[in-house]
Copies of this chain bind each other. A is one copy, B any other.
Amino acid sequence: MAYKDEQLHEEKVFKDPVHRYVHVKDRVIWDLIAAPEFQRLRRIKQLGTTNLTFHGAEHSRFNHSLGVYEIVRRIITNFEGRPHWNSEERLLCLCAALLHDLGHGPFSHSFEKVFKLDHEYFTQQIILGDTKVNAILERVAKGFAQDVSDVIAKTYKDKLVVSLISSQIDADRMDYLQRDTYFTGVSYGHFDMERILRVMRPMEDQVVIKYTGMHAVEDYIMSRYQMYWQVYFHPVTRSAEVILSKILHRAKVLYEDSNYTFKLEPTHFLSFFTGHVKLQDYLKLDEGIVSYYFQLWQEEEDDILSDLCERFTNRRLFKYIEFNPNLQMNEWMELHRLFMNAGIDPDYYLVVDSSSDLPYDFYRPGEEEERLPIHLLMPNGELRELSRQSEIVESISGKKRTDHKLYFPIDLIEKIEDSTVKKRVEEILSGQGEVKNAN
A interface list, Cβ under 8 A from B? 12-18, 20-21, 34, 36, 39, 42-43, 51-52, 54-56, 58-60, 62-63, 66, 182-188, 190-192, 194, 198, 215, 218-219, 222, 225-226, 229-230, 284, 286-292, 295, 313-316, 359, 379, 391-392, 395-396, 399, 401, 433-434, 439
Residues of B within 8 A of A16 (CB): 55-56, 185
CB distance from A19 to the nearest CB of B (A): 9
Residues of B within 8 A of A186 (CB): 15, 192
Query: How long is the Cα–Cα vector from A194 to B391 in the complex, in angstroms?
Result: 30
Closest residue on chain B to residue A37 by CB atoms: B314
Q: Are A225 and B392 in contact (CB under 8 A)?
A: yes
Residues of B within 8 A of A316 (CB): 34
Partner of A14 from the list B219, B286, B391, B439 (CB cut-off 8 Å) is B439
Partner of A187 from the list B54, B191, B225, B284 (CB cut-off 8 Å) is B191
Residues of B within 8 A of A34 (CB): 314-316
Closest residue on chain B to residue A42 by CB atoms: B51
Q: Are B215 and A226 in contact (CB under 8 A)?
A: yes
Query: How long is the Cα–Cα vector from A287 to B194 in the complex, in angstroms?
Result: 34
Closest residue on chain B to residue A34 by CB atoms: B315
Q: Are B184 and A17 in contact (CB under 8 A)?
A: yes
Residues of B within 8 A of A183 (CB): 17, 183
Query: How long is the Cα–Cα vector from A249 to B120 in the complex, in angstroms?
Result: 40
CB distance from A192 to the nearest CB of B (A): 4
Residues of B within 8 A of A379 (CB): 433-434
Closest residue on chain B to residue A15 by CB atoms: B185
Residues of B within 8 A of A399 (CB): 391, 395
Q: Are B392 and A396 in contact (CB under 8 A)?
A: yes
CB distance from A6 to the nearest CB of B (A): 17
Query: How long is the Cα–Cα vector from A295 to B288 in the complex, in angstroms?
Result: 10
CB distance from A380 to the nearest CB of B (A): 8
Query: How long is the Cα–Cα vector from A47 to B410 in the complex, in angstroms?
Result: 36
Residues of B within 8 A of A185 (CB): 15-18, 20
